Copies of this chain bind each other. A is one copy, B any other.
Amino acid sequence: MRADAERSTMRILEAAETVLAADPNAPMERIADAAGLARATVHRRFPTRKVLLEALVEQVNERYLLALQRARVDAAPPAVALHRLTESLFELKVSHRFGIQLTGDVLSPAVIERLDLVFTRLHAAGEITAVRPQWCRQVFRALVHEVDELPPDAPELGPADSPGARADLLVRTLLGALNA
């Protein structure tokens, strides 16, 4: 694969993210335009729309996994790990909104496993009463989405729009929800 083609592939993935985030049914041509390429070129890398979507999912799963290991999910105190993970996730959301939304159904097993680890450890530490990691994951994902859609000046985020404000709110809300 020529360095040339590599760049094109990346461009396409980026363009697909931004375009499909705005309109999940956008035609391939709009993605090609956003990437500054011809539609035919997109079809050369990704023969089918389905293939392109799968590539997006895989890409997000990789970054997800990266965020999990940067959060030191298995070593750090679980509440801290959750907080760090959340911060990374919000960053991930700005550049990969569509992909994340798409992974709702098809999170990679590796990601699920690590994610569940956070919640079992939270339970073991007595920070939450909820038992099943699956349920915790569901609530987590839902709240991440809601917090993410909060406008920057929302009172829930506190006075200053500090970078960790969203993560704070999320952790607080999630622990409250899973303690009931």
A residues with CB within 8 A of B: 25, 130-132, 135, 138-139, 142-143, 145-146, 149-150, 154-156, 172-180
Contacts and interface: CB of A to CB of B under 8 A. Distances in A.
A133 B118 CA distance: 31
Nearest to A176: B180
Contact of A176 (B25, B131, B176): B176
B143 A131 contact: no
A180 to B, nearest CB: 3
B138 A149 contact: yes
A25 B130 CA distance: 36
Given A130-B156, A131-B155, A143 B25 contact: no
A32 to B, nearest CB: 22
B135 A156 contact: yes
